[in-house]
Amino acid sequence: MPRVTAAAPPSCSPRGLIPLRSSRASRPCVARAYSGKRLGAENTRVQNVHRMGLETRIRNQLLRPELPPSSYDTAWVSMVPLRGSNQSPCFPQCVEWILQNQQDDGSWGVNRFDSSVNKDVLLSTLACVLALKRWNVGRENIWRGLHFIGRNFSVAMDEQTTAPIGFNITFATMLSLAIDMGLEFPIRQTDVHGILHLRKMELKRQALYGSYGRKAYMAYIAEGLGNMLDWDEVMKFQRKNGSLFSCPSTTAVALIHKYNDQAHQYLNSLVSEFGGAVPAVYPSKLHCQLLMVDALERMGISQHFVNEIKNILDMTFSHWLQKNEEIMMDIATCAMAFRLLRMNGYDVSSDELSHVAEASTFCDSLQGYLNDTKSLLELYKASKVSLSGNDLILDSIGSWSGNLLKDKLCSSRVQKTPIFGEMEYAVKFPFYATLERLEHKRNIEYFDAWGSLMLTTKCSSFHVTEEFLALAVKDFSFSQSVYQDELQHLDSWVKENKLEQLQFARQKLTYCYLSAAATIFPSELSDARISWAKNGVLTTVVDDFFDVGGSKEELENLIELVEKWHEHHADKYYSEQVKIVFSAIYATTNQLGAKASAAQGRDVTKHLAEIWLGLLRSMMMEAEWQRSQHVPTVEEYMTNAVVSFALGPIVLPALYFVGQELLEHAVKDQEYDKLFRLMSTCGRLLNDSKGFEREGSEGKLNSISLLVLHSGNSMSTEAAKKVIQKSIDTSRRDLLRLVLRKESVVPRPCKDLFWKMCKILHLFYFQTDGFSSPKEMVGAVHAVINEPLKIQMGDASSFHQKNEDLL
């Protein structure tokens, strides 16, 4: 497969900037250094200008999505006659556009992702030829169009080629109509019979069904059925805006067969807004904007467009409350709107998805009848953002849509389509068990595979533009250079604090930093990542010290030192190990505290020290339980465990570095405490569930073994695991609900860190006790921090393999 390796961000070698002693011999070196510095600055300036240009163009697209013209729909609109004058077009500007926009090869229609001829282009070309013949204009254009179709007629006959909706019916009907109009195609009569036979077989197959979905489908491809339809029945699908399915071609053919004022007004407004060429779907501005918002989030560049995204989601929420047809009448749009609104803190109810709560109702819809995978996938994603354990609608949607997706994954036909990798990833990795930066990289590299997964239409539709990809590549590549510098700094910090000398301690720097870089990913949040990673390393050291490295006297000495904090110098260190551990905690906490205090405008160092003291005391409690063979109640165990799980020093200090003012009253609020406890409960129980056998072999108690013991062994281990899993699910949903709640004393960016840590924990313990199995994370570490982007150009087949390679 062709690959393009993204260039690393320009950098200036430090060696060229070392000041030299003044001498004649050194002057050329000084000149070269100065020249190199100027060149580096100029490269940076050019890069910044280019980046700003990309951001400006994306902002304009967010405000005014550019809907590409559909040659097919324009052709059908152009065939609508002027009322009362069957010999004149109602929309002559459409006829003129067709005349002026034929391709050099005689075709109409452009395939964005592939220069080869496809059925979309054939269908558009035939429609345009019909339109010109209808009004007896453009003889030369018609001749060139006929010969294009003749040269590429084998494409129409190829059943393995992806086809627009209803192609076998619509193309054959239009071909037959063209022949009846006297047009001569340079094709064999047997090929014509072959196409007409495909139409006959398709109509015979459709006759077997009598569902609402089938009726909707037949109305949707009305241009392929003509007088076979009952047009009064067809008009029952008319929407409030006057259209049929918001589709210009379907509306146009309906107007040709049965005049309707609302339909005419719809087409008239459409042509007035877009001129000679109309899009494949209208209205679709909101849908396109939601697609772009989703793309920005998926590629990790949404932080550059906060205001624009807020305006779009505010408008979407307003339309949601009004039950606007543009959202509610399209299943994929409705599901996507629900997911994006909910995950951005808007109060939306799953009741609006009740019409697809059951598989039967989905299958009876137009999208279900079409077996539309895009709609199915969006419903599945929406079902996963549940905030309570009794959301029956989302639970039901998640169940049946997941089963249908799994069935589709077994289909060899689906495995060859771009959406296959998307389906597999969604089914395998729940959204709460992913690393954002890893997802960003996957989505950037396989942009071609999912960037075309937009509205389901008969022909071409809206696509996310290459500007999104270009900005995402720049952003990710620059971030990697920052991550690499930060990792070097952290490596030096470990050595300066002599942490590598502690033989008992696991060396987890890379994995601690991965959890920071993969979630707190914006390059400007360096202090938050450094704080997160350093404290992650220190909590691992302390955990190992309490588990295997320290004696009772050493542990008591360490706690005493932290209790005295600044007055510790009067005390003696029990051992060199204690000195190294305490000195690293003390120096690092004071350094981070000074930075955090400056950022917050108040002294927070004392709070950071208190977090460490709370952790050490809780760990000592567990050590004493084990030493005395005390068996705590499950409640005692969990009350202590949410602190001893050691997330406090990692997450809580980082809250001060995300660019938000975190007031003292917010830190002391119940919401802050609840966020911490829910996050830590998830982590502790996940660890207990996945590390049960390992910890049992070490003679340690955890929540599962305690449940079994306190039941008098009436509860089996498997039953206890189910109880714990239910508690994990409940805590996760409660945490997400609290994070998304708008009425809050803790700022949303701060709350997000609790959720990000929860996601990390779910991924780390996804299949094994991940933190104790470093090989599980090796691929992810290299992908996020070291490996440059490799953009996969037009290759969807290996999309799913990348998921396996990374994790």
pLDDT beyond 90 at 340: yes
pLDDT at 111: 54
The model's confidence at residue 419, banded by pLDDT at 50, 70 and 90, is confident
pLDDT beyond 60 at 802: no
| Secondary structure (H, E, C), 157-187 | HCCCCCCCCCHHHHHHHHHHHHHHCCCCCCC
The model's confidence at residue 421, banded by pLDDT at 50, 70 and 90, is confident
Count of other CB atoms within 10 angstroms of residue 147: 14
pLDDT at 470: 95
In this predicted model, what pLDDT tens digit does every residue of 563-610 receive, in sequence order?
999 887 767 899 999 999 999 999 999 999 999 999 999 999 999 999
Say whether 471-786 and 283-454 share the same fold: no
In this predicted model, what pLDDT tens digit does every residue of 117-149 receive, in sequence order?
899 999 999 999 999 999 999 999 999 999 999
In this predicted model, what pLDDT tens digit does every residue of 523-545 receive, in sequence order?
999 999 999 999 999 999 999 99
pLDDT at 46: 78
**The two structure tokens encoding residue 251:** 């509306």
pLDDT beyond 60 at 798: no
Rounded Cα gap, residues 674 and 651, in angstroms = 14
pLDDT beyond 70 at 28: no
Mean pLDDT within 339-354: 97
Task: Name the H helices within 741-774.
Answer: 748-764
In this predicted model, what pLDDT tens digit does every residue of 184-213 receive, in sequence order?
999 999 999 999 999 999 999 888 877 899
Q: What's the mean pLDDT when you consider all of the chain?
A: 89
Rounded Cα gap, residues 9 and 805, in angstroms = 25
What CATH architecture applies to the domain 71-274?
A: Alpha/alpha barrel (1.50)
Q: Among 393-397, 650-654, 712-716, 719-723, whose mean pLDDT is lowest? A: 712-716
- The three-state secondary structure class of 3 is strand
| Secondary structure (H, E, C), 451-520 | CCCCCCCCCCCCCCCHHHHHHHHHHHHHHHHHHHHHHHHHHHHHHHCCHHHCCCCCCCHHHHHHHHHCCC
pLDDT at 461: 58
Beta bridge partners of 5: 790
**The two structure tokens encoding residue 529:** 């990542």
pLDDT beyond 60 at 30: no
**The two structure tokens encoding residue 463:** 């696509």
pLDDT beyond 80 at 637: yes
Rounded Cα gap, residues 99 and 93, in angstroms = 10
Whether 108 and 128 have beta carbons less than 8 Å apart is answered as yes
Whether 552 and 619 have beta carbons less than 8 Å apart is answered as no
Considering the entire predicted model, what is its pTM?
0.89
The model's confidence at residue 310, banded by pLDDT at 50, 70 and 90, is very high
Rounded Cα gap, residues 537 and 650, in angstroms = 9
pLDDT at 766: 79
* CB half-sphere exposure, 789, CA atoms < 13 A: 33
| Highest-scoring range by mean pLDDT, 435-439, 465-469, 736-740 | 736-740
Give exposure, 211-250, as e/b (b: 16+ Cβ within 10 Å): eebbbbbbbbbbbbbeeebebeebbebbbebbbbbbbbbb
φ and ψ of 100, to 5 deg: -90, -5
pLDDT beyond 60 at 31: no
| Alpha-carbon distances, residue 6 vs 480, 503, 780, 792 (angstroms) | 11, 40, 18, 11
pLDDT at 451: 55
What CATH architecture applies to the domain 283-454?
A: Alpha/alpha barrel (1.50)
pLDDT at 206: 86
pLDDT beyond 50 at 152: yes
Residues of the chain with pLDDT > 90: what percent?
Answer: 75
pLDDT at 23: 39
Q: Among 309-323, 424-438, 448-462, 654-668, whose mean pLDDT is lowest? A: 448-462
The model's confidence at residue 476, banded by pLDDT at 50, 70 and 90, is very high
Kindly state the DSSP code that residue 747 receives in the 8-state scheme.
Answer: -
Tokens 């190294």 correspond to 580
Whether 101 and 72 have beta carbons less than 8 Å apart is answered as no
Mean pLDDT within 201-230: 91
DSSP per-residue letters across 261-322: HHHHHHHHHHHHHHTT---SSSS-HHHHHHHHHHHHHHTT-GGGGHHHHHHHHHHHHHHHHT
pLDDT beyond 50 at 52: yes
pLDDT at 636: 96
pLDDT at 361: 93
Beta bridge partners of 238: 244
As a CATH number, domain 471-786 is 1.10.600.10
Greater pLDDT, 655 or 698: 655
| Alpha-carbon distances, residue 229 vs 83, 174, 213 (angstroms) | 22, 16, 15
| Highest-scoring range by mean pLDDT, 410-419, 464-473, 553-562 | 553-562
Report which of 447, 473, 446, 448 is spatially closest to residue 800, judged by C-alpha positions: 446
Rounded Cα gap, residues 339 and 45, in angstroms = 38
Domain ranges of the chain: 71-274, 283-454, 471-786
Residues of the chain with pLDDT > 70: what percent?
Answer: 88
Kindly state the DSSP code that residue 353 receives in the 8-state scheme.
Answer: G
Report which of 470, 432, 504, 454 is spatially closest to residue 735, judged by C-alpha positions: 432
Reported as type and span, the H/E element at residue 379 is helix 373-383
In this predicted model, what pLDDT tens digit does every residue of 63-93 receive, in sequence order?
999 888 999 999 999 999 999 888 999 999 9
pLDDT at 291: 93
pLDDT beyond 70 at 450: no
Contacts of 303-312 with C-beta under 8 Å, sequence gap 24+, read 303/522, 304/55, 304/471, 304/475, 305/55, 305/58, 305/59, 305/62, 308/59, 308/62, 308/63, 309/62, 309/344, 312/62
Distance of CA 633 to the CA centre of its chain: 42
Rg of the chain, C-alpha, whole Å: 32
Whether 652 and 676 have beta carbons less than 8 Å apart is answered as yes
